[in-house]
Amino acid sequence: MIRLARVGATKQPYYRIVVIEKDRARNGRSIEVVGTYNPRTNPASVDLKHERIAYWRSNGAQFSDIVAKLVAKNPAPAAA
């Protein structure tokens, strides 16, 4: 599953977008970090490793609802 893992201080959320087994805890051991999301900036900053996300999706990983929205709003740049 590809979902958010919260890091950061109290009342200062910062998230890693991680590949993790579905049964694990929110901040449990992840397989790979494939991006970051900072909702505190204006506008919110999102950094994604699109090639790694595509790899994990091809191997059957599913997006959480929030991550699916973030990926849809931040598509991969066109190859030049």
16 versus 25: which is more confidently predicted?
A: 16
Taking the domains of the chain in order of start, what are their residue ranges? 2-73
Cβ–Cβ < 8 Å for 6, 13: yes
| Whether the predicted model's global pTM rises above the 0.85 cut | yes
Identity at 20, one-letter amino acid code: I
Of 3.50.50.60, 3.40.50.300, 3.30.1320.10, 2.60.40.10, the CATH number of 2-73 is 3.30.1320.10
What is the C-alpha end-to-end distance of the chain, expressed in Å?
30
Residue with tokens 């931040």: 74
Q: Residue 78 and residue 64: Cα distance in Å, rounded?
A: 24
What's the average model confidence in pLDDT over 35-39? 95
**What is the average pLDDT value for the chain, to the nearest integer?**
91
Residue 79 has pLDDT above 80, yes or no: no
Identity at 8, one-letter amino acid code: G
Would you state the pLDDT for residue 10? Answer: 93
Q: What's the CA dihedral at 56, 62, 67, 73 to 10 degrees?
A: 80
Residue 53 has pLDDT above 80, yes or no: yes
